[in-house]
Amino acid sequence: MSTLMLLLELLLLTAAWQCGRSEETERVRVRVRVRVRGKGREVNWKPQVPSQRSLWSSKRYEGSSEFVKLRYHMGPVLSSPINIYLIWYGKWPQSEKLLIKDFLLSISSTPAPSPSVADWWRTVSLYTDQTGANISRSVSIAGEYADLQYSHGTHLTRLSVQEVIATAVQAKPFPVDHRNGIYLVLSSQDVTMEDFCRAVCGFHYFTFPSKVGYTLPYAWVGNSGKQCPEVCAYPFAVPGYMGGGGPGHLDPPNADVGVDGMVSVIAHELAELSSNPLVNAWYAGEDPTAPTEIGDLCEGLYGSGGGGGYIGNVMKDGRGRTFNLNGRNRRRFLVQWIWSPVLKACAGPNAID
């Protein structure tokens, strides 16, 4: 029995123990989890809406490390200054590009009030490789490429994303940076992706030399604004069945449901890409084709006390917009927490004691 199966067994047992919920509902949750984890080779993330929420982010789970066997598998982490190469796939309004770039540029220490995006990345930088080198705290945008012509169509697949990257690195002056580069493919809201909305909101992996000529760590994240905001931009949109009597949606910090939702998915993928770029460094579970990584462990959790469908204690600005982090240019963002190897719990800079 793999550790992953053992974890699921434990989850089932704990689920059955939790009061106020039928066993059947919990089984559905676990089944959904298995499906998501089992799909494809890439490392997927699908934030789960409350009715499907597993115990991964419950308060009990948050406070306890006994089920988490996050281990280091001796591979590299991104310990040198990280160069992000952005590939804007499809038509992207300038304002949305600026919003995403402001988030990425807020990761390196920039003047922003606490709790800041740079404070949030501090948890990620606690991960080290076998030489003791920490994940870098320096993250910059080293290049951008706009694929306005949808070079590989308006429907992408897990493999054609690699061709999108190949097209970008072949288009000079977009460089091949296999030392410090990570490639981030962001698709516009009219682009569909294999399994988007059903199984994934984003994923990361590395390119195959046969496709791209190099092994490059990359991530893909799509704008779910038109296709499935209730799945991939939760909690800025909520499923219809939760409409009556439910908590309702929260207002996004930059008034853009799709892109504000993407920011947390991008954050999740960057954290995992940095700690597991070749899928042989930091993850839980015995199966490297379905690893549980440092973002997965805290999905749906944005503040203290979160879990069981509650995102946790976050802040609201004067206009009622929800956020938990400050960034450059007085931007605000709502970003999920990350598993801390020191605290052995999900952690974020907006924690309240």
Ligand X SMILES: *[C@@H]1O[C@H](CO)[C@@H](O)[C@H](O)[C@H]1NC(C)=O
In angstroms, give the least distance from the CB of 346 to ligand X: 16
Q: Which of 58, 79, 125, 326 binds ligand X (CB under 6 A)?
A: 125
**Paired tokens of 198:** 């059903």
181 HSE (CA, 13 A, CB side): 21
User: In this structure, is the dihedral angle defined by the CA atoms of residues 206, 209, 210 and 213, taken in order, positive or negative?
Assistant: positive
Whether the Cβ atoms of residue 253 and residue 315 lie closer than 8 Å to each other: no
Give the residue with the Cβ less far from ligand X, 127 or 183.
127
Q: Which stretch, 122-130, 141-149, 189-197, 252-260, contacts ligand X (CB under 6 A)? A: 122-130
In angstroms, give the least distance from the CB of 132 to ligand X: 8
Residues touching ligand X: how many (CB under 6 A)? 6
Q: Which residues contact 5 (CB under 8 A, 6 or more apart)?
A: none
Q: Which stretch, 7-15, 52-60, 123-131, 217-225, contacts ligand X (CB under 6 A)? A: 123-131
Q: At 320, which amino acid appears?
A: G
**Rule CB under 6 A: is residue 142 a binding residue for ligand X?**
no
Give the residue with the Cβ less far from ligand X, 19 or 342.
342
Site for ligand X in 290-349 (CB under 6 A): 341-342
Q: Which residues contact 281 (CB under 8 A, 6 or more apart)?
A: 72, 73, 74, 75, 76, 77, 127, 129, 275
**Rule CB under 6 A: is residue 131 a binding residue for ligand X?**
no
CA distances from 242 to 82, 180, 310 (A): 40, 43, 13
For the beta carbon of residue 288, count every other beta carbon within 10 angstroms: 15
Q: Which stretch, 46-54, 100-108, 124-132, 311-319, contacts ligand X (CB under 6 A)? A: 124-132
Query: From CA 194, how far away is CA 172, in angstroms rounded?
Result: 28
Q: Which of 266, 268, 278 has its CA nearest to residue 78?
A: 278
Site for ligand X in 190-249 (CB under 6 A): none
**Rule CB under 6 A: is residue 128 a binding residue for ligand X?**
yes
In angstroms, give the least distance from the CB of 282 to ligand X: 11
**Paired tokens of 251:** 């207002």
**Paired tokens of 35:** 């499906």
In angstroms, give the least distance from the CB of 294 to ligand X: 12
Q: Which stretch, 84-92, 126-134, 228-236, 241-249, contacts ligand X (CB under 6 A)? A: 126-134
Q: Which of 3, 110, 134, 180 binds ligand X (CB under 6 A)?
A: 134
Give the residue with the Cβ less far from ligand X, 115 or 306.
115
Whether the Cβ atoms of residue 229 and residue 222 lie closer than 8 Å to each other: no
Which residues contact ligand X by CB under 6 A? 125-126, 128, 134, 341-342
